[in-house]
Amino acid sequence: MNVFMRRKRMPDGTFGDLEKVFEGDTDAEKIARLQEQNTMLMLALTDLYEHVYAADEEATK
């Protein structure tokens, strides 16, 4: 099994110690979190596409 590690960003902007990303989560909790993150990424990408499209429309006027 692969173990994903990350460094949390601290309030002062630096990075903390390495920690396991999914430590203590059940498979169902991992899947739910990943699905939620996927949805947020898709929405952010859609917002970016809309912004680029609007900027392109303004540039061609």
pTM (global) more than 0.75: no
CB contact set of 51 (below 8 Å; sequence gap of 6+)? none
Tell me the backbone φ, ψ of residue 55, rounded to 5 degrees.
-65, -40
Question: Are 21 and 5 within 8 A, CB to CB?
Answer: yes
Digit-by-digit pLDDT tens for the chain (61 residues) are 577 888 989 999 999 999 888 777 888 988 998 999 999 999 999 999 999 999 988 887 7
Question: Are 30 and 22 within 8 A, CB to CB?
Answer: yes
Question: Are 57 and 44 within 8 A, CB to CB?
Answer: no
**DSSP-based three-state secondary structure for 54:** helix
